[in-house]
Structure 1
């Protein structure tokens, strides 16, 4: 089996339509008459994205919120979702959670498909949105001289996951992440590049750097974290926090709460520098 990044690279030759954006973004951006449609799809599997025996209502929440977070990184207004659902477990509880999260974000369910299958449950969701600003921001516009910013602390989901595993403590950040739609819409007219942090700050920052053709220099002490200080490095590599990572021109202030965590440099030998050097080890979560 090849790695996730290798598979995506092989798919780029097929995804030739301009809306695919060379598969460098988490969303397709499709011009449609006077509107621009934003389309994203994420899947979740038991044992990978949620724990066996986890409350299906929380699984429904995370499935929707993670997709809406991709729309947030495009400054999009959600229009609706399509659900791909594998029957199994407490399906009624999943439906209750789905209703709750869709009501929370005021997003309609438009359709989808259900299947019966054996093995680990796999769920999918397609989210549709409309651009609130054009051109729609991407990962690919960062420029040397920009500042690198983050909307909020990292590591809360990691602590929540551990609390859920232990059966004690506050697990809400892992079970029910928030999609920062209002922040994304406010940022869209100003940013040069933007994405959400779902697979770990260091990994996602390296993706933004490659898409933009720059080097990102992060100061680790500047990154806000929700963990104890001795777990800072873990927080920078853990995912599921869904904060927005973005670049702004040096003379531009963010229109929402955010922390400057580094700088955009001319492209060098490495896409990412952490405290002046290329970070070692696994940068975040990748499939395969």
Structure 2
């Protein structure tokens, strides 16, 4: 059995780094408050996300992957704002403070944090049901942040994705865990990685400053998150369902399941964004700069609401419910 740790021992062992000053951070963890120092002409971008065992992740998840995902979902919010990561805090409730489990959690957390030069600068720990809450801080030039409210009729609608992959894989993995379908071992591991190791599109978000007119990250399902953009922008959208990027594993599934996973599955953490048609080439260049791909999946229209069609122009029913923390099973 792993060695149990006390509160202050686990903090010192796993979560005490970067106390020394560094760009953007005057004082890191160890005091009552961290001190952040954004550069002149920059604004702070701040976001919080909570992961609760049994609601957002399975009890069997590898702790290193859990550490990665806990930070990734927050970095994805910064990406959707076009912000560069700066620092984060971690509030952690644990039923047991086991050394091996915490070491692995910290390893996954810090690997992603170091990849994005994002420092852990404080937080809290307590006993309780397993729960991780991260608040992330980033910086973006004043007036340059990507917002949800800038979409305009005539804009193209885009979704980012990994080259050769697509959206909806995380939901496909969840269906395997639920026992509603089976996948061969290698195929399951690929879609499971989409669920447990999402890659925040930070570099893409930065490259889209001045190019995209609106952006959001897809966490609760493409349709549900798109509706947030449409509501704040006062517009509607038309989607080509067959233009949605699709992995080989999802492409062979029944059409109804494929539509569900891609349009309402959630947990993709890709960027859904709009841009004027005249910026088409710049969008593709931004995707290359961001180390990913981008697919044009529709357009923004003046008429409110969402209309979905297949490649032949036939209407696809819009009856998918996105994830709701208080309604979804």
The root-mean-square deviation of aligned C-alpha atoms, in Å, is 2.2
Match in the other structure for 2:322: 284
Alignment CA distance shift 1:164-1:94 (3 Å): farther
Structure 2 length as normaliser, TM-score? 0.72
1:190 paired to 2:190 = no
Structure 1: distance between partners of 2:196 and 2:178: 11
Structure 1: distance between partners of 2:62 and 2:82: 30
Match in the other structure for 2:134: 125
Alignment CA distance shift 1:237-1:191 (3 Å): same
* Correspondence 1:244-283 to 2 at 5 A: 244-253=271-280, 254=283, 255=285, 256=287, 257-268=293-304, 271-275=305-309, 279-283=317-321
Match in the other structure for 1:28: none
User: Contact 1:75 / 1:133 at 8 angstroms: preserved in 2?
Assistant: no
- Which secondary structure does the structure 1 equivalent of 2:81 belong to? coil
Which structure 2 residue ranges, 5 or more long, are not aligned? Answer: 1-37, 288-292
Deviation beyond 4 Å, 4+ runs, structure 1: 162-168, 276-279
Match in the other structure for 1:78: 85
Match in the other structure for 1:139: 148
Could you give the per-residue CA deviations for residues 255-278 of structure 1, whole angstroms, max 9, x where no partner exists? 31311111111133xx21112758
Cα distance, 1:53 vs structure 2:
2.4
* Correspondence 1:1-288 to 2 at 5 A: 34-89=41-96, 90-117=101-128, 120-132=129-141, 134-152=143-161, 153-162=166-175, 168=185, 169-170=188-189, 171-226=192-247, 227-228=250-251, 230=255, 231-235=257-261, 236-253=263-280, 254=283, 255=285, 256=287, 257-268=293-304, 271-275=305-309, 279-288=317-326
Could you give the per-residue CA deviations for residues 176-196 of structure 1, whole angstroms, max 9, x where no partner exists? 110011111111211111111
Cα distance, 1:282 vs structure 2:
3.4
Mark the structure with the bigger radius of gyration.
Answer: 2
Match in the other structure for 2:33: none
Structure 2: distance between partners of 1:33 and 1:194: 25
Structure 1: distance between partners of 2:142 and 2:75: 17
Could you give the per-residue CA deviations for residues 11-38 of structure 1, whole angstroms, max 9, x where no partner exists? xxxxxxxxxxxxxxxxxxxx99632110
Structure 1: distance between partners of 2:203 and 2:146: 15
User: Contact 1:151 / 1:244 at 8 angstroms: preserved in 2?
Assistant: yes
Which structure 1 residue ranges, 5 or more long, are not aligned? Answer: 1-30
Alignment CA distance shift 1:100-1:162 (3 Å): farther
Cα distance, 1:247 vs structure 2:
0.7
Structure 2: distance between partners of 1:165 and 1:239: 16
Equivalenced residue count is 254
Cα distance, 1:99 vs structure 2:
2.1
Cα distance, 1:87 vs structure 2:
2.0
